[in-house]
Amino acid sequence: MSKLQFYGRPLIVFDPDIKEHREFYYQFVKNGTWGKCPYRFIVPDDQGNLVTMIQRKLIAYYVNKEFEKKVDK
């Protein structure tokens, strides 16, 4: 294991429910770089690349948010 791995950004799974993760993706789209993101997002083997994975998760997040059944209280 390289010593550089001890000083790298921590690896985490992108979670669209976490506003901070969505903001980091927005900054990536706006600036074209992950330079300001304090994390490295993990890409599972079956997901392709990072940006595609995040886009799919965000689409599912916003579609579910818009169309989930609303319960009258």
The whole-number pLDDT of residue 48 equals: 82
What tokens appear for 55 in the block?
A: 């886009």
List own/partner pairs for 24-31 with CB under 8 A and 24 or more apart: 25/54, 25/58
**In the predicted structure, residue 70 carries a pLDDT above the cut 70:** no
**Domain layout of the chain by residue ranges:** 7-67
pTM (two decimals): 0.80
Per-residue model confidence as pLDDT tens digits over 42-51: 998 777 899 9
Output the average pLDDT for the chain.
89
Q: What is the mean predicted confidence (pLDDT) over 21-41?
A: 95
